[in-house]
Structure 1
Amino acid sequence: MSFHLFSTDDPRPVVKVSTSWPSPGANVTLKCRFSKNYGLWTFNWYKAVPRSSNNSYSHEKLSHSCSGQGQCSYIGHGQTHTTAYVCKANRGNDNHTSRPTFVWSREIHPNSIKVSPPDRGQHVSSENVSLSCEGNSSKWRVMRLTEKGHRSTCSEWGTMKNSTCDITNPPKKTAVYWCETASGQFSNAVNITFQSNVLFFILM
């Protein structure tokens, strides 16, 4: 499942990914493009790294860049961890930055997110769902990305205590949940659908 946010009125470039849930070690292709602003642009690719505050990301530059007519491609080789990518385009004094686009990990690494109750495919009342972060960090935040591309933190739709988020305001449709550390790391992700106070989730 790929989540994209797109508006013809948005001057920022949009990043499309070949698959948001690749198999471990698989390559993914990302394309950065403008909807309207065609012409010669210089594109640079970055990894988005969680900051310790403001639920925002710093940008770690990757080696790949290119110039072209409104679009540029990048191949992420051997994807094994959740990674967020950002594309920046510039032409003279005109600069635009895309929103982060995520490529999710199916693998549980030392940093992981756990759903309670834990049984895969179990249907439970939404009032009982909590998400816990585990791994090599003492400072966590639980994040959510909806199908419409809205990214938010647990404090907006749940209660965060230590490393656990209790969901109190579930979305009406599918969303992806994951953990971020203040030291700049991501966990694996879970894809959760709430329907009529019943939860369906798949560990991704």
Structure 2
Amino acid sequence: MPSSPRSPGRRAAYHHGALRDALLTGAREMLAERGLDGFSLSALARHLGVSTAAPYRHFADRDALIDALCVEGYEEFGAALDRAARSTDDPRARLDALGVAYLRFAAEHRAVFTVMFANRGEAVTEAGRPTFDPLVQAILAAQAADVLPPATDPRVLARTLWATLHGLAVLGGQGGLAKLGLDDAPEALVASAFSLATR
């Protein structure tokens, strides 16, 4: 159900410094409802109950706002992966935890996740780079424990596992797994996928 514009009482709060955060939050809501093709700054302004000029105080254009939202999304994504990596000292369990965190983030932040991995600007690319590191570090630990083949370049292994996770995330989000009767809990999806690579 489309959300209604904000009340006039909220406008004063935006005027006194909360507008940028409100724009990013509102953009998340609108992307979830309408997708990227249905998103515009003028529609966002109406959604928030502010003037159509108000978003331009913080963002040069629609792409600038979406890029800022993607950077914010990557920060949250990286934090989720870091928490997963720190959740266990067991090398195999750490791989699984990272995989589950990946799929859960994709499912819980579907609209933002989709635009994060679209062809965005350099700032978004740079924000995304560090999110690859927890998986590489987990693979190095798994190789040292003989859970993964030690002779393989860890970044190559990380690329393969990342691509597997991303494929599961996209197929799950688009309903492809469910249509084939192959949908499952994130833990089960990760366990079956990673079992092909681990010893």
Structure possessing the higher radius of gyration over alpha carbons: 2
Which bin holds the TM-score, normalised by the shorter protein?
A: under 0.3
Instruction: Determine which structure has the larger helix proportion and give its number.
Output: 2
Q: What TM-score does the superposition give when structure 1 sets the normalisation length?
A: 0.24
**Richer in strand (by share):** 1
